[in-house]
A and B are shown apart, each in its own frame.
Chain A
Amino acid sequence: MSVIDRLCYQSRLRYVNAEEKFVYAILTLIFCVASRSFAVALIAFAANGILTVGKGGISLSRYCRLLLIPVSFLVVGTAAILVDVSEIPMDAFAFPVGDRYLTGSRATTMEALRVCAAAFSSATCLYFLALNTTMTDILDVLRKLRLPSLFIELMMLIYRFIFLLFETAGAIRISQESRLGDRNYRTKARSFGEMGSALFIRALSRSNSLYDAMESRGYDGKIRVLSQQQPPRKKKILMIAGFELILAVLTIREIWVRTGGHG
């Protein structure tokens, strides 16, 4: 998580208007999921790769390593669709296991690959957003989308303090280890429990101090802050609109073919 956080602050696309990036990522993601088409998935995958690595300036090796994280989930998820246990072998493949078969049909294989492609390209959409937009910018967009302010304020505070929580936990761990708190399983378990309770107490006292500090600046239950956004550019909006239009056409065609094929 902190890797992605560091990367997005270095991205060359960081100062591009966040609404543009947000709309692009979310629409593309929706088309990927809705169409389950290889063409859309491929286009989205390529576009996100070009934007994140080419324009954003994140190194290719790092991008690939990050992409490997969702792959493990995909493999497990796809396997569940792909493979069936049955007494009758199906048309795509069949491996005998005892008196049954690990088998799959052509249709489910196709379906599994489609889901896999759609999910993977969707993941690249979210990566594009996460690697090129800072959390505070994303929160600005959500604010403009009129999400409940309670929700946004919670996200804002969590994002700010999760790093402090890690830091404090790390410091406690070091202090425990330096006193042999991890000598054996028993002390390890105890140390971990004590760290948990210490963290809880500190979080509580910290939140009290934070509340005092915010109140001293006139906090009245609503967090008002200025956002720092570049105005959206007409050219970019047109480019995004054009791109999404192509995806929309492909998606509609795909759905048309799929439903038309059955009816």
Chain B
Amino acid sequence: MEKKKKTMADRETKDGQDWVIEAEHVSYAYEGNDEKALDNFSLKIQRGKKVAFMGGNGSGKSTFFLCLNGIRKPDKGRIIIDKRPVVYRKRELLEVRKKVGIVFQEPDNQLFSASVYQEISFGILNLGVDEDTARRKVEQVIEELGISPFRERPVHALSGGQKKQVAIADILAMSPEVMILDEPAAALDSWHTNKVRRIVDDLAKRGITVLVSTHDMDYAYGWADEIVLMHRGQLIGKGTPLEVCSDAEALKKAGLEMPAVLKLYGRMKQRGILSSDTMPPANMEELEDCLANAYERRM
């Protein structure tokens, strides 16, 4: 009991927040490249949040993700995972990789085995669990993510969407506290995009902190608790979707457009269809309600 209390107390830091990820003034440059991929980048993320990372190609999203996992070591600054600064030694790194998992953008760069089952078992075995536990976990994840119909097929015969599911299963089997998905919907058809999004929502419901990089503003606006805007390795915006989307300058800098919902909401207000005191809608359904209410009031 006492131990439990202590861990609870542990989790609350000075500012009373439960930060699972903290980056302090992180800079990183790739070898032979003068421009920094990350430039004095600082960010804190609360446990259990859904965070969307947005910014053009080369804005540093992927590099930051690799730093969170200890794959890239910042040239300056430090990364703190779950209150512990990352120490770049084998055992400590394994601990970090257990807590933070990355689903890479290109499944063909992640899946190394031709067998789905072997593939999913790789990460969890590296954590040092015994075979029986690993087997149970692998089966469980296969079931949860709907991989059973193609589990016996070789990886090279799977479709892009199926490979993506396996790539997510790879990481989920390791039961991470933070799950990073680097452009999970890239190159997927809309059916698989929706499937992956459902899986992502599911992860968030389980209390896993989910970090997703995306170029889809409409999706990020509706889904995320927080949006992080990046540009040339720097943080140019962070906050709730509404806060970030109100910052027209930052959006422009990141090369992003306002979400369709907000655009329509703004126009409707301009034309006097929505009253000026209408609150901005969080998604299409809310906007629909606003409009329906406005219509009814006029009748």
Chain A residues within 8 Å of B, Cβ to Cβ: 5-6, 9, 134-136, 156-157, 159-160, 163-164, 206, 209-210, 212-220, 223-228
Contact = CB atoms under 8 A, between A and B. Distances in A.
A136 B156 CA distance: 13
Given A217-B97, A217-B170, A227-B118, A163 B126 contact: no
A218 B104 contact: no
A164 B119 CA distance: 16
Contact of B101 (A212, A216, A223): A216
B94 A136 contact: no
Given A134-B154, A209-B104, A220 B112 contact: no
22 contacts: A9-B154, A134-B114, A134-B154, A135-B114, A135-B154, A136-B154, A156-B112, A160-B112, A160-B155, A213-B102, A213-B104, A213-B109, A213-B112, A216-B69, A217-B101, A217-B174, A218-B123, A218-B126, A218-B174, A223-B112, A225-B125, A226-B125
B210 interface: no
A160 B113 contact: yes
B110 A213 contact: yes
A159 B115 CA distance: 11
Nearest to B115: A136
B210 to A, nearest CB: 16
Interface in B128-164: 131, 134-135, 138, 152-157
Contact of B71 (A163, A212, A227): A212
B82 to A, nearest CB: 17
Give 4 closest A-B pairs by Cβ, nearest first: A218-B126, A217-B123, A225-B118, A226-B121
Given A135-B114, A136-B115, A160-B113, A220 B126 contact: yes
Contact of B122 (A134, A157, A160, A223): A223
Determine which residue in A219, A220, A225 has the highest number of CB atoms from chain B within 10 A of its CB, and name it.
Answer: A225
A228 B110 CA distance: 21
Determine which residue in A160, A212, A217, A219 has the highest number of CB atoms from chain B within 10 A of its CB, and name it.
Answer: A217
Nearest to B117: A228
Contacts of B153: 9
A226 B135 contact: yes
Interface of B: 66, 69, 71, 90, 94, 97-98, 101-102, 104, 106, 108-115, 117-119, 121-123, 125-127, 131, 134-135, 138, 152-157, 170-171, 174
Contacts of B154: 5, 9, 134-136
Contacts of A156: 112-114
A215 B98 contact: no
A242 B119 CA distance: 37
Nearest to B170: A217
Determine which residue in A160, A206, A213 has the highest number of CB atoms from chain B within 10 A of its CB, and name it.
Answer: A213
A206 B107 CA distance: 11
A136 B110 contact: no
Nearest to A206: B109
Chain B interface main SS type: helix
Chain A interface main SS type: helix
B131 A226 contact: yes
A47 to B, nearest CB: 27
B123 A226 contact: no
A216 B102 contact: yes
A228 B97 CA distance: 26
B126 A136 contact: no
Given A136-B113, A160-B156, A225-B118, A218 B97 contact: yes
A163 B123 contact: no
A17 B6 CA distance: 51
A231 to B, nearest CB: 14
Given A164-B108, A209-B109, A210-B109, A226 B126 contact: no
Given A218-B127, A226-B125, 10 more contacts: A209-B106, A212-B71, A213-B102, A217-B122, A217-B171, A219-B122, A225-B118, A226-B121, A226-B138, A228-B117
Contacts of B117: 226, 228
A163 B135 contact: no
A217 B126 contact: yes
A153 to B, nearest CB: 9
Contacts of B174: 217-218
B261 to A, nearest CB: 35
A75 to B, nearest CB: 34
B114 A136 contact: yes
A226 B111 contact: no
A164 B156 contact: yes
Determine which residue in A5, A6, A215, A226 has the highest number of CB atoms from chain B within 10 A of its CB, and name it.
Answer: A226
A157 B112 contact: yes
Nearest to B134: A226
Determine which residue in A210, A212, A216, A218 has the highest number of CB atoms from chain B within 10 A of its CB, and name it.
Answer: A216
Contact of A218 (B94, B108, B109, B114): B94
Determine which residue in A6, A164, A228 has the highest number of CB atoms from chain B within 10 A of its CB, and name it.
Answer: A228
Contacts of A217: 97, 101, 122-123, 126, 170-171, 174
Given A224-B125, A226-B118, A226-B125, A216 B97 contact: yes
